[in-house]
Chains A and B, each alone.
Chain A
Amino acid sequence: MKKDNSTRREESGVPLKTGQEVMIGNFAIARGLVEAGLDLAAAYPGTPSSEILPGIIEFNRREKGSIHAEWSTNEKCALEVAFGAALAGKKAACMMKQVGLNVAFPSLLKGRHKAIQGGLVVISCDDPGPQSSQTEQDTRLLASLFNIPVFDPASPKEAGDTAYYALQYSYDHKTPVIIRPTHRVSHAREMIDFFSPGLRKVTLNEGVKSGKGRKLGIVASGMSYALARDVISELALEDAISLYKVLRVFPLERGVIEFAAGCDRVLVLEETDAVLEALIDGGERVFGRRSGHVPGQGELTYDVVRGIVQQVTAEMGIKAEVFTPDPAIEEAMKGVNVLPRPPKLCAGCPHRASFFAMACAYPDAVFPGDIGCYTLGIAMGAVDTCLDMGAGVTLASGFYDTFKQDGDLVPILASVGDSTFFHACLPPLYDAVQKQKQFILVIMDNGTTAMTGMQPTPQTGITADGSPASSIMIEDIVKGFGIEFVRIIDPYDIPLMIATTKEAYDYLRKEGKGPAVIITRRECILTAKGRDVAPWDMGRLEEDCIGCKACVKAFDCPGLMFDEERRKIRIDQGVCVKCGMCYFACPTSAEGKSLRKFRDKRSREKG
């Protein structure tokens, strides 16, 4: 994007540039939207999109504007609220992660044909890798399939300019527009210039960026373009390769097609699917995903792009500087014991206590899981599935029907978080209640959307900007469905949680109906910051340790380290919050022994 960077003053005396700040791409997008005259914003949090709405609230505050901004219960709600505003002539935006777009897709699909009176920008952030999603998904593919204009910015700065441009573009063309930043754009940081609302000058930065020859051309968009540029520079290929930058992936400028047609061979670099590749349709001349030169999945990192460019130039006999990794590095590392750091629930996380109790009550149960921090329960053997939002409940239903068909009732312990419960679990729960599916649903209520950065849920009782709102209690909903077995317990009471889980399963068997719901309610340890945790004396755990590692295995807490030299557990004082729950995972402690009665009972049942 070419932009007037000067600080000269307009005739009115208003300075063009009003300031600058280092910020992430998502805040740059927020800034662009606010400067473009946004009226309404709605979003459901999801990495890597979650910071855009808070950014809008922040810049609206600084500009003393009157933008309405809200966290919606899910992406469909967000899109439809924004769509309603756009229909009525306002400039609106909604934000979500790539898999969230699926939830909003029905309304987007129909909505693209409805001539909006205002403007509507949908920002759907993609997650190549994926780094924090259940799957990769290319928003550009969906947009181009259904004729929705889509932009793929290459940097935070360009993302901000694109947001500004896209809202105007939507307003002028009366069509919804999608911006698709990848996580590397959303979360990269750089200096962003501020302008007074309405005074930014933006033109699309597209076209040939380097090279004159037409032997090998690269067409790239988004972060892949930025990487291609750096790799070409590293390998000193500026003269040998021509590089074409695409920002608006659909509808594609004629220039791209002409550039591709004018090159002997074309390499297409893009994340995460073959979208530009399909639109260019260059057949055998194209190096890309179809030819196998670009990996079909995973992020295009610097090393991946460098590898692809090296391979393609080698195949074409183009001279380039060659990078060869030094194997001596790995060789020297062989003797070094680097501690693995798999993702874990936080020390003191109430979910960990719930999962521990669930696995303790019925270790052989089926554990349908859901999407959130608590997906990490997989490491504790208390989450078996991770499909999409709400699937914890629907899969539990499916499993129940399957077992029932085979005449076998087994414990099914589904788990879902509070935000996900509101987002996607109500329709699945109607079905489960009406059809009397016999499973236990544990709703892990920590009062917030922790995974994505503590956004409020409909129960939290505050709005996106922190002002008070009404609160809808989960138990009221569940009871309203007619579910009879509803218990609300503190997950830190592990014996009670185990006993309640067993009571719930007995209820399912005895009454022949279901589901049974246990709401485990305790504030997220990150928002609670130690409040409401009665600190335990952790000394016994270390002193009485017999080195069996049961707590490390069953409790999976980042505060527990095993000291191989001393053959004893060691507590990381910097991490431990003294919740004391790990005592229940210690078979020699009084707390651990107190759980034996539950275990004994089960083995009698089995015997």
Chain B
Amino acid sequence: MRLEIVCAGIGGRGVLLASTILIEVAAEAGYRAVASDEYGMSQRGGSVVSLVKVGDFESPLIGREKADILLSFEESEFYRNLAFLKRGGTALVNTGRKALDGPVADLLKDRGVPYYLVDADGIAVEKGMMQASNMALIGFFSRLGVTPYTAENMESMIKRRVKAKLVEKNLEVFRAGYGYEKG
């Protein structure tokens, strides 16, 4: 089994926590998992990319058009990292938009990329926890049936990796993301 995931977002918005949960869920399920993070010179607000590779790999780096999944925690970072995504890969985008612009939507269609526009910020704000939009996105991700990322596995890791007093709130946002319906 081989799975390459790109987590892309901006600083201070929980990209690294999300990728930590992804790598630990995989390790817990008995897979070799490696991650590599890039967060530039800026402490906050700059681009953050975390690469997660699960299965029979040596390196933690992902090549162009190699990723199976692109998790975009911020819309602009989706475009910036789109070249990572392989033909037939899957994209999740945190955005309030109902549709992508024509040329991008056409590109994804041509490349056989199913994509999901998830208003993770909206979900998180509704639950009163803007900083937890990362949870909404991985909540939605966990219903796509990608091994080993079941909602159960993810929730149990969230309980272990999120600060005790924030666990309940994070799980609430995660579950709202899981049950998100467009429109």
Write the residues of chain A forming the contact surface with B, with a CB cutoff of 8 angstroms.
22, 131-132, 154-156, 184, 187-191, 223, 225-227, 229-231, 233-234, 301-303, 306, 323, 325-326, 328-336, 338-339, 341, 343-344, 346-347, 376, 450-451, 526, 558, 574-575
User: Do A332 and B10 contact each other (CB < 8 Å), given the known contacts A303-B64, A558-B44?
Assistant: no
Which has the most chain A C-beta neighbours within 10 Å: B43, B47, B101, B110? B43
Nearest 7 pairs between A and B by C-beta? A226-B59, A302-B63, A343-B41, A332-B107, A229-B58, A226-B58, A558-B45
Which A residues touch B37, using CB under 8 A?
A: 187, 189
CA distance A341 to B49 in the complex (A): 13
Which A residues touch B12, using CB under 8 A?
A: 574
User: Do A188 and B60 contact each other (CB < 8 Å), given the known contacts A132-B41, A343-B40, A558-B45?
Assistant: yes
Which A residues touch B59, using CB under 8 A?
A: 184, 223, 226-227, 229-230, 302
Which A residues touch B87, using CB under 8 A?
A: 326
CA distance A343 to B44 in the complex (A): 9
Interface residues of B in 53-68 (CB under 8 A from A): 56-66
Which has the most chain A C-beta neighbours within 10 Å: B24, B64, B76? B64
Which B residues touch A22, using CB under 8 A?
A: 20, 23-24, 27, 33
CA distance A326 to B110 in the complex (A): 11
Is B169 positioned at the interface, with any CB of A under 8 Å from its CB? Answer: no
A341 near B47: Cβ-Cβ < 8 Å: yes
Q: Mark B66-83, 1 if CB is under 8 A from A, else 0.
A: 100000000010011011
B130 near A574: Cβ-Cβ < 8 Å: yes
Is B104 positioned at the interface, with any CB of A under 8 Å from its CB? Answer: yes
CA distance A223 to B57 in the complex (A): 12
Which B residues touch A341, using CB under 8 A?
A: 10, 40, 42, 45-47
Is B103 positioned at the interface, with any CB of A under 8 Å from its CB? Answer: yes
Which B residues touch A574, using CB under 8 A?
A: 12, 130
CA distance A526 to B12 in the complex (A): 12
Q: Mark B119-133, 1 if CB is under 8 A from A, else 0.
A: 000000000001000
A184 (CB) vs chain B CBs: closest residue: B36
CA distance A334 to B82 in the complex (A): 13
Which B residues touch A332, using CB under 8 A?
A: 103-104, 106-107
Which B residues touch A225, using CB under 8 A?
A: 58
B102 to chain A, nearest CB (A): 8
A346 (CB) vs chain B CBs: closest residue: B43
Which A residues touch B23, using CB under 8 A?
A: 22, 189-190
Which B residues touch A227, using CB under 8 A?
A: 58-59, 61
A447 to chain B, nearest CB (A): 16
Is B18 positioned at the interface, with any CB of A under 8 Å from its CB? Answer: no
B34 near A335: Cβ-Cβ < 8 Å: no
B59 (CB) vs chain A CBs: closest residue: A226
Which A residues touch B130, using CB under 8 A?
A: 574
Which A residues touch B82, using CB under 8 A?
A: 329, 333
Q: Contact check: which of B36, B44, B76, B111 meets A187 at CB < 8 Å?
A: B36
Which A residues touch B32, using CB under 8 A?
A: 190-191
A575 near B44: Cβ-Cβ < 8 Å: yes
Is B35 positioned at the interface, with any CB of A under 8 Å from its CB? Answer: yes
B61 near A336: Cβ-Cβ < 8 Å: no
User: Do A190 and B33 contact each other (CB < 8 Å), given the known contacts A226-B59, A229-B59, A335-B101?
Assistant: yes
Which has the most chain A C-beta neighbours within 10 Å: B33, B61, B64? B61
